[in-house]
Structure 1
Amino acid sequence: MVFPSRRSFAVTRICLIDAHPDAADHLCHALADAYEQGARKAGHDIERIDLAQLEFGFLEKVSDFEIAPPEPVLSEREKIARADHVCLVFPLWLGNMPARAKAFLELAACGNFFLAAANSSRNWPKQMMKGKSARTIITMGMPGPVYSLVFDAGALKALERGLFGISGFKPVRHTILGGVEQAGDEARQKWFRKIDLLGQRAE
C-alpha cells in the first residue's frame, strides 16, 4: 500500500538495517519496506542491509575486534559509513535482539569502525559515528508499556547507551511496537503509516 507524502524534507542519506534473521514473511520486513517507501517518496538517498539475505559467522575472539571483518560485513557496513541516519529494525527475542543481529553489529564494529581505540595521541576512544543520527524500531509480543515499565526496556537502553551512544550517534530515537501477535489489520496499517512518515522525515 502506498501512503501519500505529507511534506518535503531535506535530503538525507539513510542506512536501513532490517535485522530480522528469517527471510520468511514477518512484520519487521513489512515495517522496513514502509520506512524505505516513505524515505524514497521524500527523495532521500536510502541504502538497505537485509541480514536475512547475508551469510556471516560470529565473533569468537576479542582480538578480532582489532582487524577488519570478513565479507559481506565489510562491504555492507560501508552503507552505515555513507549514511547521515541509521534505522535499525528488529524483533525482541528472549528480551534482546536476535543473536544474528548482535553478531552483525559486533562484526561491523571490528577494525575501529564504530569506535577508534585510544592511543598515544588521545586518552579516550574516538567516536567514529559523530554527526549521524539513529532510530531503533522494535517489535514484540508483550505490550509496549510492559516492556518499558516492567522490564525497563533493557535491550533498548543497552543499545542506545552502549553501541549508539559511545560511538557518537545523536540523537538516538526509538519506536516500540508491542502486542504484534494480537494486532489486526487496522493496527498494522496504522503502524505502517507511522513508519512511512518516519521514513519521509528521515527520523
Structure 2
Amino acid sequence: MSKTVTIILGHPAKASYCRAIAESYRDGAASAGHKVHFLPLSDMKFDPILHEGYHKEQILEPDLQHAQEAIIASDHIVIIYPLWIGMMPALLKGFFERTFQRGFAYKEAKNPFEVGLLKGRSARVIITMGMPGWFFRWFYCAHSAMALKRNLLHFCGIKPVRFTYLGMVEAASENERRKWLESIRKLGRKAY
C-alpha cells in the first residue's frame, strides 16, 4: 500500500551526507510508488526565530505554509539531521518552533493525552554523528532524540517514532557510507 511521505532535511548546508541520506530515502520511497514531499531546510526561506514567543502570532512564510500542507497530507514523516553539540541544528529547531504550533500540531485540552492533532502519522528520525551510535544511545541515553520523540512528536500525536543512528560518519569509509545509503533506500521503499 502506497503512503505519502514528508522528508524534513534539517542540515543547514546545501551539500552534506545528510542530504545524500535524504535523497536515498526519497529515491527508495518514490521507486516503491510512495508520494514524497521533500523539505530541505537549507533551500527554504523562513525566519527560524519565534520573535515574540507564543504571545503574538508570527505569520508563516510560504515555505512554512507548504511544509504544514505536506505534513498534514503525510502518513509518514522522516526527519534527518546531524548531531551537533548533542542536539539538532538551530535551523531545524527553529523550523519546529515556527511550524509545529498550537492549532496545527496540537490543541489545548484538559487531558494531556488528547492534545495531538497529527495522530495517524508515524515517523523515522535519522541522526548522523561523530561518536559511535551505540555510545550516543547507551551512554547519553539518546537524550536529544528522546526529547524530540516525547516533547514534540508524541505530544503532537505522531506514533510510532523509530530511530536510525549513524555514528562515526566522518571516519566511515566510502564503502560503509554506500552501505548506509542502500539501507536507507530500503527503508524508503517500505516508507518505514
The TM-score normalised by the length of structure 2 is 0.93
> Are 2:105 and 2:116, in contact at CA under 8 Å, matched by a contact in 1?
yes
Runs of at least 4 residues of structure 1 off by over 3 A? 64-68, 122-125
Structure 2: stretches of 5+ with no match in the other structure: none
Post-superposition offset of 1:46 = 0.7
The answer on 1:39 being equivalent to 2:39 is no
Task: Give the corresponding residue for 1:100.
Answer: 91
Work out the CA distance in 2 between the residues paired with 1:157 and 1:39: 26
Task: Give the corresponding residue for 1:17.
Answer: 8
* SS state at 2:130 partner: coil
**What do the CA deviations read for 1:20-51 (whole angstroms, capped 9, x no partner)?**
1111x210000001000100110001111010
Task: Give the corresponding residue for 2:142.
Answer: 153
Task: Give the corresponding residue for 2:40.
Answer: 50
Identity %: 36
Size of the aligned set, in residue pairs, is 190
> Are 2:45 and 2:61, in contact at CA under 8 Å, matched by a contact in 1?
no
**What do the CA deviations read for 1:142-170 (whole angstroms, capped 9, x no partner)?**
11111111111111000011111111111
**What do the CA deviations read for 1:53-94 (whole angstroms, capped 9, x no partner)?**
012211122225766533321222211110000000000011
Of the three residues 53, 56, 61, the one matched with 2:52 is 61
Once the two structures are superposed, the pairs formed by residues 1-203 of structure 1 within 5 Å of their partners are 10-23=1-14, 25-57=15-47, 58-64=49-55, 69-118=60-109, 123-124=111-112, 126-203=115-192
TM-align CA RMSD: 1.6
> Are 1:132 and 1:169, in contact at CA under 8 Å, matched by a contact in 2?
yes
> Are 1:141 and 1:181, in contact at CA under 8 Å, matched by a contact in 2?
yes
Q: Greater CA radius of gyration, 1 or 2?
A: 1
> Are 1:69 and 1:110, in contact at CA under 8 Å, matched by a contact in 2?
no
> Are 2:122 and 2:160, in contact at CA under 8 Å, matched by a contact in 1?
yes
The TM-score normalised by the length of structure 1 is 0.88
Work out the CA distance in 2 between the residues paired with 1:51 and 1:72: 9
Structure 1: stretches of 5+ with no match in the other structure: 1-9
Post-superposition offset of 1:123 = 4.9
